[in-house]
A and B are shown apart, each in its own frame.
Chain A
Amino acid sequence: MQIETAPSSAGPFAHARTSIQRTMSLVMLALLPATLFGFWQFGWPAIFLFFATLSTAVLAEAVCLRIAGKPQRQYLLDGSALLAGWILAVSLPPWAPWWIGAIGALLAVVVAKQVFGGLGQNLFNPAMVARVALLISFPLEMTNYVQPMPLFSADAPGFLQSVGISLGQPGFDAVSGATLLSHVRTELSQGLTLTEILPDMGYLFSGAVGTIAGSMGETSALLILLGGLFLLVKRVITWHTPVAMIGSLAILATLMNLYDPEHYAGALYHVVSGATLLVAFFIATDPVTSPVSKTGQIIFGAGCGVLVYVIRTWAGYPEGVAFAILLMNACTPMIDHYVRPRVYGRDRRGTPIEYADNAEMRK
């Protein structure tokens, strides 16, 4: 009995049960409740849009991998293209025509990811690049929101009607509705005050549950929060980014609200409405495009929160969280360069620690 094993060069010869595929799958699992709720709320057109987006994303990835000469099976199975498509889909207006999703997926996978060198190389979050590009190129389709019409409910479009909606044919009379954010924005610019626009607190409830106009998977703050907590428990993400982002947004909103309650809504309004929670838990935490140190993540998250507030309140895009993310993505390399963990045995500047009573006898 004598064996000769090929000496693999270095340890460890044990590995935690992790893989990129597992990470991506967990994120998708966390997105599932909010997505299914979106399907139910917005019916067949939303489902068509979702699948158009995801299948284009995977197809585009496969073609790019082939061109780049990378092993297709291994890379497609990592799930990163699917997840990018998924995040893009849930951030689109649910009744947008199918080609919006398809073009978005192409932008996300080809332009924002593969052109940069593929998995792990992109500077900007692919889904957010696509969302911004779409918003600028197709402002009409991208701001055309509808009131929820639950699947199989009386007013909801049937299957065939839905195909028509997805193909962009006019005809079905939807109750179009602005999202809470743009509604408030428009009314404020008309000179109304917040008490006139939002007479009661009902919007907080519908924003939390999700019975409100909005993007496919962003409406239900509670389900998104559930998914986010799941990711925290599973240690796919850490608390630093989401807490910093929600915290800075809430603090800023509270301060402005105290300063002028008639024109600046409070913290809860900002937290439950729009994409705040989706961004905080699923997009700002995108590993590839956010900093690697804890302090860096706190800075990044806080930056996102401040920018989201600024863009919502003063810029022309009330649904413009994507801009905030892209701006902070651009800061990531700089944050990573300047903010590093302290190395064991060294102080922050990198010089070895000295104690007043170091034990070496200096003679």
Chain B
Amino acid sequence: MKLFKIRGGVHPHDNKHLAAGQAIEDLPMPALLHIPLQQHIGAPAKPAVRRGQQVAKGDLLAFSQGVISAPVHAPTSGRVMGVGSYPAHHASGLSVRTVTLKPDGEDRWSDEIQGVSDPFALTPEEIATRVAAAGIVGMGGATFPSAVKLNLRTRYRLHTLVINGAECEPYLTCDDRLMREHAEEVIDGVRIMAHALGVERIIVAIENNKPEAQAAVALAASVDPRIRVARLPTRYPMGSEKHLVQALTGRETPARGLTADIGVVVHNGATAFAVHEALRFGRPLVSRIVTVSGGAVSRPRNLRVPIGARVQDLLEYCGGFTEQPAQLISGGPMMGQPLPSTRVPMVKGSNGVLALTGAEAAGHEPMPCIRCATCVQACPCGLVPLDMAAHTRAGDLDGAVSLGLMDCIGCGSCAYVCPAHIPLVQYFNYAKGEMAARGRAKQKMTETKRLAEQRTARMEAIKQAKREAMAKRKREAAAKKAAETAAADAATMTSGAAAEPTATTAEA
């Protein structure tokens, strides 16, 4: 199909050969699983199990909380050892609420697990409900609850579903292997999602460095004439949602908007597979395919990993390290996060674990910017990274924002090519974090101000009430006195004077 040009981008050495030839293997069940309750964007799930409770595979461990949230299920059968806190799969290494599960070795599915014989007979709402109940989130790393994305049809006029199989990050091959080995299941999931979205156009987009996946998907897709396979040029960041849509449709997503603004919804291939599993078999999302790779890994592999297995379990299965890695990363080398330790558990959004050698990770002393404009040419968003970095460094965050900081997708193309090795993305992350903090502080300030104003108003009201009460009491006292005097007078004089104090009271 006809493709459109996208701006900028880079051609990093893809290093996919390390793991691309390895068929998916099951990771042996670890002795313990640590399943975090927040593995998605949105509110954390709320525990539904107690310590000591016996659960079957697929049983609910935690409820979804609110509109943007996702439930969490037991990745295998076993006993809940506790609900506590455990280091998160995150660069910060902070702890989050986590269910610890001791597998009983039977890996027995719950009896309640039941699929639908014909998902296409369901209404879109029913499909979305099932997807939500299965705890499916965007598996390309964004981890946005998928059901919310399926429900976009109520707010937007959608026409196209794009399946993002670009996998443009170097090293990662999990989507490649999944599409090669489970093309039919992926395509089935794609068709179910298309049904839920009510779209008539489906494009599965795969980069040209994955010819086997392209062929397998094209074959599987022949069952449905609506599906087209797009063969994408190999270029980073082709898998960036907005750029992918531009390459396929020629249209840019409006700034600060969603691809749904131009009628397109993008889902990941692994998400489609999870939807297939959830609808056909009723299985919630309890495992995923992960690439374990990097120059420091003895035997790079693609593994099917139960959620909650520790990074260490994966690395051990892959034969450990050949040398001490310089950098341990979750995800790809371009946009992945450094991992603080090998203890952290795998989550729904983790598509790769990379252990890079010093030579691969390429840390260099930064030099001053020579304004060579390589970063300007490389930026897929049309930004001028050197200027944004200079403003950030000078502390002028508003200046950086006016230069388009918030339009930066953090893809790292600029830093990748910078001959001065300036950590541009680090500057941008810092600035974005700082702006978010400022936003929160500002919100807090207006909130505090509002509360203070409310309080003043309340105090004012109380004072007013007190004053009134006082005045009333005074008047009553006066009235009483007057009445007494009047009564005393009346005792001696005529009874007609009694009307006067009553009138005074009425005035108040």
Contacts and interface: CB of A to CB of B under 8 A. Distances in A.
Interface of A: 1-5, 7-16, 18-20, 22-23, 74-75, 78, 80, 118-121, 238, 287-288, 290-294, 297, 336, 340-346, 352-355, 358-361
Contacts of A346: 254-255, 407
Interface stretch (B205-213, B356-364, B448-456): B356-364
18 contacts: A2-B343, A4-B341, A5-B325, A7-B339, A12-B412, A13-B338, A14-B12, A14-B13, A15-B421, A19-B364, A75-B367, A292-B371, A292-B373, A292-B384, A341-B7, A344-B382, A345-B253, A354-B254
B373 A293 contact: yes
- Report, nearest first, the 5 A-B pairs whose CB atoms are least far apart: A345-B255, A12-B412, A7-B338, A359-B263, A292-B373
Interface of B: 7, 10, 12-13, 91, 93, 155-159, 170, 242-243, 246, 251-257, 260-263, 312, 315-316, 320-321, 324-329, 333-343, 354, 356, 360-365, 367-374, 376-377, 379-384, 386-387, 404, 407, 412, 415-421, 423, 425-426, 429
B256 A15 contact: no
Contacts of A360: 155-157, 260-261
Contact of B383 (A75, A288, A343, A353): A343
Contacts of B371: 120, 287-288, 290, 292
Contacts of A8: 327, 338, 363
A53 B261 CA distance: 61
**Which secondary structure characterizes the binding site on chain B?**
loop
A9 B412 contact: no
Contacts of B381: 343-345
A358 B361 contact: no
B384 A340 contact: yes
B426 A9 contact: yes
A359 B382 CA distance: 24
Nearest to A22: B419
A16 B10 contact: yes
A352 B257 contact: yes
A2 B420 CA distance: 34
B420 A20 contact: yes
Q: Which residue of A5, A294, A346 has the most chain B CB atoms within 10 A of its CB atom? A: A5
A14 B333 contact: yes
Contacts of A22: 419
Given A7-B93, A11-B336, A14-B12, A287 B370 contact: yes
Contact of A343 (B91, B329, B373, B407): B407
Given A4-B341, A7-B91, A359-B261, A119 B252 contact: no
Given A16-B417, A344-B380, A345-B407, A358 B363 contact: no
Contact of B170 (A4, A14, A287, A292): A14
B260 A359 contact: yes
A80 B370 CA distance: 10
A359 B407 contact: no
A8 B327 CA distance: 8
A359 B336 contact: no
B325 A11 contact: no
Nearest to B424: A10
A161 B175 CA distance: 73
Contacts of B262: 355, 358-359
B376 A341 contact: yes
